[in-house]
Each structure stands twice: as structure tokens, then as C-alpha cells.
Structure 1
Amino acid sequence: MSSELLDALIILEKEKGISRNVLIEAIEAALVSAYKRNFNQAQNVRVDLNLETGTMRVFARKEIVEGVFDSRLEISIDEAKKLNPSYEIGDIVELEVTPKDFGRIAAQTAKQVVTQRVREAERGIIYSEFIDREEDIMTGIVQRYDSRYIYVSLGKIEALLPQSEQMPNETYKPHDRIKVFITKVEKTTKGPQIYVSRTHPGLLKRLFEIEVPEIFDGTVEIKSVAREAGDRSKISVGTDNPEIDPVGSCVGPKGTRVQAIVNELKGEKIDIVEWSQDPVVFVANALSPSKVLDVAVNEEEKATTVVVPDYQLSLAIGKRGQNARLAAKLTGWKIDIKSETDAREAGIYPREEPLLLFDDDDSNDDFNFNEDDIE
């Protein structure tokens, strides 16, 4: 083994953070296997590496016995005392058995071990870095694609964007820069495997954390997210500070903050509603942009019956039921929407103590980006 290789181990220790002692132990173990394999030896051997001179020696380890049954593993007491009179039965004698041409094999083996350990260490570093970024957002560059995945470069590694996690309104081309949500980091025999998404609700949440300082610093909190990627999303926000408007903070001056997120999601419509602990208010807000006249709550079944003006029924339900569906996901309550006329005929509106949430002349204060739900 050359001193140059040992110098390389020192450099690897500094640059890769791999302990030199760990590499030396791995090389010694590999050299033992190489010795037995290449020289057809079954004896017990030890390899010694001299870090100062760069030399390598192989020693056969034999136990001192009275009568020898296997000369590869044992040595007689008489032979041992010729080497050192102080030897006794049961001691271990080491005899140098370094082959003349073992240097070449040693160099090849050491190179393979170092390469493997460096690769393993790099994989470990990448895994440690990305496992901490699970459920986080990163910017990647589209590299290539096949029938199953879009391959997105995240710098040190390529992440997989499965078809099921791709937005239906997007076309991905090589060299496109996209923001992705890291859904899973796996440790495999081939190294870390990272899966990302463009459809996960967490992506929307992280985008708001980036664009809205009040969310980033915790002043405004995202309470829930409901998303049908590429089409429409709803997000509920709240704050404990009465002087802050949580919805307005997310919208930003002239809608600049939410517009940046809409642009990143290629035109996905976003409704921002104010969260409330009162399910009546929260459900009414979640059905925005529709006006709501009354909300009846069934606590046991976690269900609500919502009454809306006749002319607002289509808006409340949304295209293919999307507005009502997203509102139910956002609030966690079942929502049954009835028009004012149907509710009156059924005798459920007005109630003895009617709850008029909005007059016809009022408008919902919650923000809706692109309010074109009417069928």
C-alpha cells in the first residue's frame, strides 16, 4: 500500500467526515478476505497497516497446542518456544506470511473499500439531510421523465415525482424550475430515495409560509387546508391577535401574496377563509363565496344543514359539487346545502330563533381568488 493512498484517507477524513480509523479497519478486514480468496488460505490471519510508512503485512495467527491437528490454525509448543521461550500452551503466535505480490491486490482492494465507504458515507449524509426535510418544500429542476416519474434534481440527488403526484394542469419540461413537497425519504440499498409531490396540501401550506411573514413567524396560523390540485383549494387561517386580519395578511397588498402562490400553482384558484371555533361561523365562512342564511349543527353526527338564498345555491355547491366538497374537507363537518325555498317547504327555516348570518345586501368578507364557480 502506498503512502499516497494513506494521504488520501486523511483528505477524505477532512472533506467527507469519514473517520480515518474506520477506513483503516474496513481496509484491513477486506484485505484479510482478499488474502484468503486469492491465495486459497483458510488460516486465521491479521493484516497490519503502517500509517507512517504505508507498508502492509499479513500475519498468520496460530494457537499453541500440545499436539497439532491443523497446521493452518495451530503450532506445537516446541516450535513456539523456538521463536520465544516464554510462550505457553494457549498463547497465540503471529507469523508473517505476506505474499510477494500481495501489494497489487492490496492496492486494488483498498481502492474498492475506500470507494464503497465514501459512497456509503455520502449516501448517509444525503439521507440525514433530506430526512430532516420530509414534509418540507424545495425548489428543483426537471431533468427527465418516463412513463412513471418526473425526475427532479434537488442538487445532490434526483427525486421522484410520480404521475399521481403531478398536477393535471401542468406540463413538465427538462430544465423547468418547480417547487415540490417532499413526501417521503427512504433508505435503500442503492442510497436514499426521495419522493416529492405537486398535489399534496402541504405544498400549499408551505407556499403560504414562504409568502406570508405573519404565517412564518406564527402570528397567523394555518388551521386547515383542502385541495383539489390544479383546480381549486381552500385554506382557513386564524390568529389570537385581534389587531391582525388573518385573511388580509394572506391576501397581501392588492392580492400580491396570494397571486404569487396562484402563479406557482399555474392558476389554481384559492379561497382564503377565516377560521372560527364556532362551527356555525366556520362552515359559513368555508362555503365562501356563497352567502349563507343559516347553519343548523348536529353535534352527534358532526353534520350541518346550511340554508342559502335560492340564487346562491349553484355557487354554494360549486361545479360538480366542488365548493361544498372542499368546504366539508376544510371544516371536518358534513355539509347538506338547501335553498331557502326548499328549507321553508321542509319547515327547517326559519327556525324559532333564526340565525341570519348574511343579509342579501351583505357580502362575505373572506377572500376568494377567481370566483367563477357558478355552473
Structure 2
Amino acid sequence: MNGNKELIDALNQIEREKDISKEILLEAMENSLVAACKNHFGKADNIKVNINRETGAVNVYAEREIVETVTDPVIQISVVEARLKFPKNDIGDIVNVEVTPKNFGRIAAQKAKQVVVQKIREEERKVLYNQYYSKEKDVVTGIVQRYVGNNVSINLGKVDAVLTENEQVKGEHFRPTDRIKLYVLEVKDTTKGPKITVSRTHPELVKRLFESEVAEVKDGTVEIKSISREAGSRTKISVHSNNPDVDPVGACVGINGARVNAIVNELRGEKIDIISWSEDPVILIENALSPAKVVAVSVDEAEKSARVIVPDYQLSLAIGKEGQNARLAARLTGFKIDIKSETQADEIGW
């Protein structure tokens, strides 16, 4: 069949502009044309379609076995006819006989258009999915679009994400066009494109924000050992430096608190306590109860529990409003923490 240079030119352009492989499109066209041949020949098991990669010419071939006497002309060719076309082959060989139908150019053009449109959609969806799948468990910046019921639709550039009610910080309200940072929980591939679920409450959001704000965290000099968070209210993080010359808490706080304040602003005022991690649970628990001062800590490592004594005037600070400080410290350290004031400890003989 005559060439179709326009088709090849169009595919080259698609490859350049859409980053979709010309070869993938041509193979898809060949496959769809094989299916189209089924209507014409009654079967397509032995049919091959070849589109010339340079000229765009479309040829249809049928695999046929060379036989003495033909009983099924769809899959066989007589040895007499075969010798004219395939002089080097003999009985029992399989040869490709050209069987391109007369009106095949029109069918090929229709199929080509359908395949290209469908493949472009598929490939664009795949590219989008891969692009956002690589951002799973990372932080992205999104623009608030609108509330859909209690969920928020967020534009991430080429796709929209859903911030469900469960993943929203209580008390946080957004206006359309607000730019916010979000933690990507999950990216799912669907027929309508990637479905992206994001979070504002996840503890990893705080970790990723520190990575983007603090060079020493990003390069691994300072390690975030653990995080405990009550989203919208308070977060505690324990940090450790792998370089004795770098103060981990100082690095995370920044000059005049610049680094931590940038994160607090992003989290709309959520308080952040940064404490120094220690492999000694006594020191770790003491640090975790900051800003409260501690008199004594006794630890039962087997039970993962600790008794803490604080000055009388520090008891409410150590426990925190509605027990928050003690609760976050317990989560941060992995120890069940029991706090008593000096007076209480004396009374019960601690």
C-alpha cells in the first residue's frame, strides 16, 4: 500500500511534544488493524500488519503453510503458487503472503486516528501518575480550589488532590487561592487519571517541612529521631546530630528562630518543641518534658515505663493543658510516663 508520510510526520510531532513514543503508537495501530482484519478475513490469528516506520505504508500479511494440496486457503498456500513468490521455501515452511485489502487505506486512517487519541490519553495519564507517584510520602504545594462537602479540592498543577475531612486540622479553614503545603498519602491510578489523597495532620508533614527548611536535616547531618504530633496544636520532635560540631536543636531552630518559625507559620501557629535526642532514656524523657524542669527520672526499661518528679510549681507545666505535654512526651519516647510533684512524691514515698 502507498506510503502515508503525513502519518509518520504527525507521530514524530506527537513524540516531540507529548513525549509519547512513536514506536508505542505504531505498535498499537498495528494491533488494532489486526483486529480490523478479523472482520475482513473472518479470522486474524495468522494475520500480521506492518506499518513502514519511514514511509507510513501499511501492509497486511497472512502466515500460510506451504502444502501440496490446499484444504484451507486462509492458512495454506499451494507449493506451485509458493514457488513463484517464495522460490527459496519448500513444503512445510511458513511464509508471509501479502493480503492487503483494496480499501485498507481508509480503514487504516480511521484506526490510526482512534489509536492516537486513545494512546495520547493513556500515556498522558501514565505520565501524570508516574509524576505524582514519585511524590508519594513527600510534601507538595497546592492551591485551594473549593470545599466539596467537608472535603477540600486542591490543585497540584496538572491534577487535583482531595484533602478529606479526616486529614484536615481541626480549626483550619481555607479560602480559594490559598497556597498550602500538603503531605501526599497515596497516589492511585484510575481511568480518570491519578487519584491523590493528601494530609495536613500527618506527623511526616512536619518532618518533610524540616527537611526542606533545614539544610542539615536534608543532608543527614541532623537526624529527626521521632515525632509526636497533635495536629493544629503542638508537635514534639527529637533530633540528633551525627557531627559533634553541629548543635541539632540550634540547627532546627535557626538564627532568631527563623527556621522553626517558617514551619510554624506554614502550620498556622502550631507550636513545635525541638528536643535533643539521647540513647539514655533518662535524659531523653527529661528533654521530652521540656519546657518543664525535672528533678528526677527513674526508668523501668523492661516495662517501658518511667517515674518523673518535678518541682511543685512545674507540675501543671510538665503535664500540660489537658495532659498534652506528658502525652506527647510519652509518644515521643515510647515510655509510659507517670509525673508527680516533689510534695506528692514525698507523700507516697517515691
Normalised by the length of structure 1, the TM-score is: 0.83
**Cα deviation 1:55-109 (Å, max 9, x = unaligned):** 3232333222234333322233344346556542223344443333332321221
Tell me whether 232-241 or 81-90 shows the greater mean CA deviation: 81-90
- How far did 1:32 drift? 0.9
SS at match of 2:298: strand
> Does the CA-based 8 Å contact 1:64-1:75 persist in structure 2?
yes
> Does the CA-based 8 Å contact 1:305-1:335 persist in structure 2?
yes
**Cα deviation 1:92-132 (Å, max 9, x = unaligned):** 34444333333232122112222333333333333433333
SS at match of 1:304: strand
**Cα deviation 1:150-185 (Å, max 9, x = unaligned):** 332222332332221111121133322111112223
- Asked whether 1:156 is paired with 2:164, we answer no
Q: 2:218 aligns with which of 216, 219, 231?
A: 216
Match of 2:105 in 1: 103
Residues in 2 aligned to 1:66 and 1:195: alpha-carbon distance in whole angstroms: 66
Match of 1:128 in 2: 130
- The one-letter code of the counterpart of 2:179 is R
Match of 1:270 in 2: 272
> Does the CA-based 8 Å contact 1:222-1:237 persist in structure 2?
yes
Residues in 2 aligned to 1:4 and 1:287: alpha-carbon distance in whole angstroms: 73
- The one-letter code of the counterpart of 1:41 is G
- The one-letter code of the counterpart of 1:341 is T
SS at match of 1:209: helix
Residues in 1 aligned to 2:157 and 2:283: alpha-carbon distance in whole angstroms: 46
Residues in 2 aligned to 1:48 and 1:235: alpha-carbon distance in whole angstroms: 62
SS at match of 2:260: helix
> Does the CA-based 8 Å contact 1:304-1:335 persist in structure 2?
yes
Match of 1:11 in 2: 13
SS at match of 1:24: helix
- The one-letter code of the counterpart of 2:108 is A
CA separation of 1:218/1:93 partners in 2, compared to 1, >3 Å: closer, same or farther? Answer: closer
- The one-letter code of the counterpart of 2:100 is T
Residues in 1 aligned to 2:338 and 2:53: alpha-carbon distance in whole angstroms: 78
Q: 2:233 aligns with which of 231, 234, 243?
A: 231
**Cα deviation 1:335-354 (Å, max 9, x = unaligned):** 11122222112211xxxxxx
- The one-letter code of the counterpart of 1:63 is E
SS at match of 1:300: coil
> Does the CA-based 8 Å contact 1:169-1:266 persist in structure 2?
no
**Cα deviation 1:233-275 (Å, max 9, x = unaligned):** 1111222444443323322333232222111111111112222
Q: 2:259 aligns with which of 232, 257, 260?
A: 257
Q: In the TM superposition, what are the counterparts of 1:22-37 in structure 2 within 5 Å?
A: 22-37=24-39
Residues in 1 aligned to 2:179 and 2:254: alpha-carbon distance in whole angstroms: 25
> Does the CA-based 8 Å contact 2:34-2:49 persist in structure 1?
yes
Residues in 2 aligned to 1:174 and 1:96: alpha-carbon distance in whole angstroms: 62
CA separation of 1:85/1:240 partners in 2, compared to 1, >3 Å: closer, same or farther? Answer: closer
Question: Alignment length, in residue pairs?
Answer: 347
SS at match of 1:151: strand
SS at match of 1:277: coil
Residues in 2 aligned to 1:232 and 1:86: alpha-carbon distance in whole angstroms: 83
Match of 2:141 in 1: 139
- Asked whether 1:297 is paired with 2:299, we answer yes
Match of 2:249 in 1: 247
Normalised by the length of structure 2, the TM-score is: 0.89
Q: Structure 2: any 5+ residue segments left out of the alignment?
A: none
Match of 2:347 in 1: 345
Residues in 2 aligned to 1:88 and 1:242: alpha-carbon distance in whole angstroms: 82
Q: Structure 1: any 5+ residue segments left out of the alignment?
A: 349-375
> Does the CA-based 8 Å contact 1:159-1:193 persist in structure 2?
yes
- How far did 1:18 drift? 3.6
